[in-house]
Amino acid sequence: AKGAQIDLGQGGTLAAKGNVTLGAASTTSTVNSNSSGSDSHGSYAETLHTSDQALTGTTLKGGDTVNIVSGKDITLSGSAITLDKGNANLLAAGDVNVGAANETHELNSHETHSHSNVVSGAKVASGIDQTATYSQGSTISADGVTVTSGRDINVTGSNIVGTNDVSLSAARDVNIKTSQDTIQSSTYFDKKETGLMSNGGLSVSVGSRSNSDKQQSSSVTNNGSAIGALNGNLTVSAGNDLHATGSILHAGNDVNLAGKTVKIDAATDTSSFAEQQQFRQAGVTVGVTNPVVAAVQTGRQMTNAAQSVGGDPRLIALAAATTGLAAKNTYDSLKQMGGDPVNAAKSVGINVSVGASKSDSQMQAQSSTAVGSTVSAGRNVTIAAAGAGKDSNIDVIGSTISAGNNAKLAAEGNVNLQAAENTSSQHSTNSGASASVGVSFTVGAKTGVALTASVAGNRGNADGDSSTWTNTHVTAGNQLAIQSGGDTNLKGAVASGKQVVADVGGNLNIESLQDKDHYGSKQQNAGVSVSVCPPPCVSSVAGSVGQTKMNSDYASVIEQSGIKAGDGGFQVDVKGNTDLKGGVIASSDKAVRDNLNKLTTGTLTHSDIENHASYDASSVGLSGGYGGTIGKDQKGTADNVNPVPGTSVPNKGGISVAPPVVLGASGDASSTTKSGVSGGALTITDGAKQQQLTGETAAEAVANVNRDTSNTSSALAPIFDKGKIQAGFDITSQFINQAGAFVDNRLKEADAAQAAAKNPNLTPEQRLQAQQQADQLTAEWGPGGTYRQVLSALTAAAGGNVTGGAGQFAQAGVVNYLQQQGASYIGKLVENGTVTEGSPLHAALHAIVGCAGAAASSQSCSAGAMGAAASSLLTNLFAPPTPDMTEQEKEAKQNLISSIVAGVAAESGVGGASGAATTTTSATAAAQNNWLATEQKVQAQKELMACTNLMCAVQTTGKWATVSSVQDAATLAGFGKGLAQAGWNDVRGLAEFLSDPVTGLKGMYELINSKEMRDQLGQAVVDNLNVKIGQIQTALRVGGTDQALQLGQNIGELTWQVGSVVAGVSGAVKAGIGLAKIGINVGRDVLDSMALASRTSAVTDGRALGALDGAGGAAEIPKKIPYQPNGTVVLQGEAPVCGPACAAMVISDRTGNSVSLESVIGSFENGIRPTGVNASELSSVISKAGVENTVETVMMPGQLSSNLSKGQVVIVNIRGHFIIVDSEVSVNGVSYYMTRDPYIGPRGVLASALNSAMSNGVNAIVIGR
């Protein structure tokens, strides 16, 4: 019968010598339609085809028992037998098939639409072709169901349900399996546009554009069968094989399954997806840029990216900071463009180009998912495989067996409990290219026009594969018994019960399985552009390259395999070997205490499984150009075609290099899934075989087993989040861009101030003020500057690992700051000639610092060493520096070196995907804090050493005096040291005088011999100064370089004396003007000191004011007063032990016990370096002696005065020299610090001089606090 409705009333019997078939009838409905139309604005056309099949199964009803008897086969297809009461009995001499019928649905829909107006038109074509098949299972429902077959019973995607007992018995096989639904679909979308088109943002095109997207997908979904005896017993027996796949077998009471083999496994759902996308565009494009719009775009991008970081507070804060920096940088650039930010904000950059672009991408994805079977009973489950000897196996794969009371699995062969595998994979590729020619111009605060041409391309790929496991679970509420004539294997399975009893005739193998995932991707892009413009504009070429890579690898046991018993413990007897691979035989603690556990095995082997999760990602962006001014686009990439107005890239010799954006992200985790056996009796019966297997005696093997099974799984969760990493890259790259722009703006301000300091049209006071501003900005933001180091440390920390936590960010920031200090120290070795710039030794020292910094930040030592060493060697690429090199030119040099190193690192793969970030961080630290911070000083030293006469030495000193890195005269050879000893430690003010000393001395003579000076000073003083001027003039003509030190001291003393007498006679303001005329430019503080010196002492005594000297030497203050301290005085001699000497003094004072300098020196664990000791080490020694103290890493003059007013003694480090300050006193209205100097001895020093030396803060130790 097909589609029939059969009612047997109170029941009955259907009997046939042949087949009995209850089938489904089908009907098909079809729709075919076509439509089209058009008007003045467009047209459309649509076609539709649908075909839907509907099934009507046969229904057999009865009020009581129904018997169906067949001499051949009984077949139900998409049909039902439903009884109000009684039993449904099916008896066939052949097969009994209870299966599903399939219905098919088809959809074919295709559309085209077009529209047009005055300026544009578009045509869209889309469609879908889909075929789906759905299964309709059969159902047998009665009080009881009995199915008996002379051959096979096949239940496919159908239900057999009885209120009471259900029995299935076949002479051959019983197959309980799934039916399947399938869907196959293909879609396409094509859009073609012409005319005026929006590109998003402030960009439009006129031309043609096409987009296409094609997708193909397919899926297979399994519909399991269900065999159930709701309140009774379920019995399924097969003469040969019993096989249940993706189905449910349930009984309210007992489930009994029997066959020569019994297999209970999982079906597999599958899906696949493929997509192809294509983009083409050609025509004229107009793009507009504006600094305010760029800042708004940055803020919007940061907001969007912050939403993809999974709530990471560090990245959210970084996004907010980036938005704020962008606003500040926009304001600065507007000021630099035109002075009035409001008017400058109206500036726009416009690019009109003719060109074409294209992009293509392909993606394929597949997945498979296990759909396990379930066998459950309210009371007992018994599964038996017998009749085929060693081939009678029980296989349970990716399924669940659950018994409310007892469960028993017994096989003459093997009992195999295994996991089912789930898999997924995806593979994608993409590529793109563009080319254009056009014209760009700027309108607003600055105007200009240029012809432009550009080409660009990109390509990439991504591949991912993963596998997970659906473990098998066998669970009993009371006792679980497993009996195998052969092996019992648990591979991705858990067998558990209140009590577990196992009798294994062969080997017992328990193995845990790892979920695995691997992902790898790589994206690359490159572009070059040319801008040609009429003079005075300079033509330029710009280029950029970028690369992003991600790699992730994961493998971890999620659920540990094993035998897990409750309070009844386990009793396991294994005739062969017990092998545990990350597996356990465990019980509750109560079972251990009650001594209920017992494992008896022939031999025992065990091993652990190592789990790991790691990822490594990097993003490298390099850009720059050559020729005229190169700007930047909104993302910070060098751009000479349509840059954001007001932006520029640091330039040196025509080469412009944007700061390299080199980012990394990495993480790793690991754990061990340990094998183990819970406490209890563990007996190895075959000692000889055990010795052969493991080289251990039975007792040793037992002793070496892990008996703690409380926490052996140690599963790892995946840590790789591709979306978060990409969002982190987006946020951090923009942060680095904005931080670089911020520093660049400060350096522009420094260069502008430096230029103003040389402007002859400004007054001396204005020039001095400009010079001070330039010096301050350079000291703060130039190479090696304090603020620059802090910001560099923050950007390095942010870019080194964009997914690191707040703690890791802080650690990396501190480590990078210290790494910069290490690079600075190496720079000082270059300064004093210990190490040659760019030499192998120089590279090796930087490699050590780079390695240490990387290791301390948990990054690659080899990558850190490579970056630092390469940076130091690359310094030889550049021509010697000059005094007039601007801060922006220095920045361009650093960016070029960092970009070269970043490019090499990204290509070489040193340190993994994120190694490029580590490499570039080390290279930047080396270049910024060593080479750029010291190269001018080193060059000055070289030129001074090459001088053969005094005139050369003086003029060379003047040449370099304006450079901030050589303002400390004591660092200059010969002549400069003489100036420093005379009190001119800062030689900036003498630059003009020393550049032409003959003219300067002549002007000095005229100034001293004026009538006003002779009247005020007296002829004797004037004559004394004139003699000195004459002596110096003679020395300049005939002196040799061996007299440079003395000459420097003589000139220094003379200029100070002249300044003092002029200030004393005319006052500080007039003195500044008069001195400026002869090339001596000093600030108001120095002029006030000169005036004070003229009132408090004779200026002809040699020095009216001196300098606080540096490491190991004296803190010498020429204007001093006597001091007789109450405390101990210890002198250091010529050794670099000023710190230990200070410690000896305060320890003796505070403890009342006189301690020697030698004993204190012996207290320093690391000894005394040639450079002495630092404040932390000094504080530690003082503390160990029982003297309370506190280290202040930055103490300002006001803090010193405050501590002294409280009666506290302070040790201060003045330029590398420790002295003790006991108190502050006032003498005739002038403040003095009463000091104990371990080099000079006790004395009172002028407070203003010491405060000046402390103006930027010093290390200090407060005694007694």
- pLDDT value at position 1246? 87
Residues 6+ apart with CB under 8 A from 1260: 1175, 1191, 1192, 1195, 1199, 1200, 1210, 1211, 1212, 1213
Higher pLDDT, 729 or 906: 729
Nearest to 495 by CA among 371, 576, 396, 579: 396
In the DSSP assignment, the letter for residue 775 is H
Residues of the chain with pLDDT > 70: what percent? Answer: 69
**Cβ 74 vs Cβ 18: under 8 Å:** no
Tokens of 177: 């399996």
Q: What is the pLDDT of residues 1171-1208, one digit of tens each?
A: 789 888 999 999 999 999 998 877 888 889 889 988 99
Q: How confident is the model at residue 673 (pLDDT cuts 50, 70, 90)?
A: very high
- Quote the crossing angle between the two packed helices 722-757 and 313-338, to the nearest 10°: 30
- Residue 1107 predicted with pLDDT over 50: no
Please name every residue paired with 619 in a beta bridge, in sequence order, or none if there are none.
548, 663
- Mean pLDDT, residues 750-761: 80
Lowest mean pLDDT across 413-422, 811-820, 890-899, 1159-1168: 811-820
- pLDDT value at position 201? 67
- pLDDT value at position 271? 97
Give the dihedral of Cα atoms 1197, 1199, 1200, 1204; nearest 10 deg.
140
Q: How confident is the model at residue 1112 (pLDDT cuts 50, 70, 90)?
A: very low
Number of C-beta neighbours around residue 473 at 10 A? 19
Q: How many Å apart are CA 246 and CA 266, to the nearest integer?
A: 5
- pLDDT value at position 305? 65
- Mean pLDDT, residues 987-1005: 66
User: Whole-prediction pTM value?
Assistant: 0.68
Lowest mean pLDDT across 165-169, 536-540, 1051-1055, 1088-1092: 1088-1092
Residue ranges of domains in the chain: 5-274+362-385, 947-1101, 1120-1263
Nearest to 44 by CA among 126, 147, 152: 126
- Mean pLDDT, residues 738-744: 73
Higher pLDDT, 809 or 939: 939
Q: What is the pLDDT of residues 220-254, one digit of tens each?
A: 999 999 999 999 999 999 999 999 999 999 999 99
**Cβ 132 vs Cβ 105: under 8 Å:** yes
Q: How confident is the model at residue 808 (pLDDT cuts 50, 70, 90)?
A: very low
In the DSSP assignment, the letter for residue 1115 is B
- Residue 971 predicted with pLDDT over 60: no
- Residue 119 predicted with pLDDT over 60: yes
Q: How many Å apart are CA 86 and CA 464, to the nearest integer?
A: 56
Average pLDDT along the chain? 79
H-only helix segments in 470-583:
none
Q: What is the pLDDT of residues 143-178, one digit of tens each?
A: 999 999 999 999 999 999 999 999 999 999 999 999
**Cβ 101 vs Cβ 55: under 8 Å:** yes
- Quote the crossing angle between the two packed helices 915-926 and 806-831, to the nearest 10°: 40
Q: Is the peptide bond before 536 cis (omega within 30 degrees of 0)?
A: yes
Classify burial at 321, counting beta carbons within 10 Å of its beta carbon; exposed 0-12, middle 13-18, buried 19 or more: middle
Please name every residue paired with 1115 in a beta bridge, in sequence order, or none if there are none.
1108
- pLDDT value at position 903? 46
Please compute, for residue 455, the number of CA atoms within 13 A of its CA located in the half-sphere on the CB side. Answer: 0
- Residue 1026 predicted with pLDDT over 80: no
Residue 477, H or E segment? strand 472-484
- Mean pLDDT, residues 456-477: 96
Return the amino acid letter for 1258.
Answer: V
Please name every residue paired with 362 in a beta bridge, in sequence order, or none if there are none.
276, 429
Q: Which conformational region is residue 225 in: left (phi greater than 0), alpha (psi within -120 to 50 degrees), or beta?
A: beta
Q: How many Å apart are CA 841 and CA 215, to the nearest integer?
A: 60
- Mean pLDDT, residues 607-615: 95
- Mean pLDDT, residues 321-336: 63
Task: Provide the residue count of the chain.
Answer: 1265
- Residue 1054 predicted with pLDDT over 70: no
Tokens of 443: 């309108």
SS3 at position 836: coil
Domain with residues 1120-1263, CATH architecture: Alpha-Beta Complex (3.90)
- pLDDT value at position 1118? 45
Nearest to 303 by CA among 727, 720, 768: 727
Nearest to 865 by CA among 807, 923, 906: 923
Q: How confident is the model at residue 919 (pLDDT cuts 50, 70, 90)?
A: very low
Nearest to 747 by CA among 649, 882, 820, 626: 649
Helix, strand and coil percent figures for the chain, each rounded to 5: 35, 40, 25
What is the gyration radius of the CA atoms in the chain, in angstroms?
44
- pLDDT value at position 325? 63
In 582-645 the beta strands, taken as DSSP E runs, fall at 584-586, 598-607, 609-627, 631-632, 638-639
Number of C-beta neighbours around residue 593 at 10 A? 10
Q: How many Å apart are CA 447 and CA 533, to the nearest integer?
A: 12
In 628-679 the beta strands, taken as DSSP E runs, fall at 631-632, 638-639, 651-652, 655-657, 661-673, 676-677
Backbone angles phi, psi at 1038, to 5 degrees: -120, -10
Q: How many Å apart are CA 992 and CA 960, to the nearest integer?
A: 10
Maximal C-alpha separation, the chain: 151
- pLDDT value at position 650? 72
Nearest to 20 by CA among 89, 96, 73: 73
Tokens of 1083: 């600030």
